[in-house]
Amino acid sequence: MSDRDYSDRSDRDDRGEHSERGEGGRRFFSAPRVCQFCTDHSTKIDFKNVDLLRRYIQDDGKIRPRRQTGACAKHQREIAVAVKRARHLALLTYTGEILR
């Protein structure tokens, strides 16, 4: 095929990704957490509990994904519904900060 010499690419690991410089490669994901609502059955997801729901919203107002919150699929859906209900009743804002 081609007669190029690729021996000068010592900064790449076996898969061709940059290992030391942090370029390319894959993102770092932390270990999956256990769902808070499955372990503690006394904690209920309610749209009126704004302090609980704020932990599941990013700074810009988006709902955090499951891989960040550690919630199972069932409870993540309940969190999303509760956040949307709280937004509709003006208990939570749609955006993160109030723009001036």
Q: pLDDT tens, 25-63? A: 677 666 668 899 999 999 999 999 999 999 999 999 999
Q: How many domains does the chain have?
A: 1
User: In terms of pLDDT, which residue wins out, 99 or 63?
Assistant: 63
Does 76 fall in a domain?
yes
What pLDDT is recorded for position 33? Answer: 80
Domain containing residue 82: 36-88
Does 9 fall in a domain?
no
What amino acid is encoded at 83 in this protein? Answer: V
Angle at 76 between CA 73 and CA 77, to 5 degrees: 90
Residues 88/82, Cβ–Cβ less than 8 Å? no
**Whole-structure pTM value:** 0.66
Does 58 fall in a domain?
yes
User: In terms of pLDDT, which residue wins out, 61 or 9?
Assistant: 61
What pLDDT is recorded for position 27? Answer: 72
Q: What is the CATH number of the domain that holds 41?
A: 4.10.640.10
Does 56 fall in a domain?
yes
Phi, psi of 12 (to 5 degrees): -110, 145
Token pair belonging to 81: 């519904």
Q: What is the helix, strand, coil percentage profile of the chain, to 5? A: 30, 5, 65
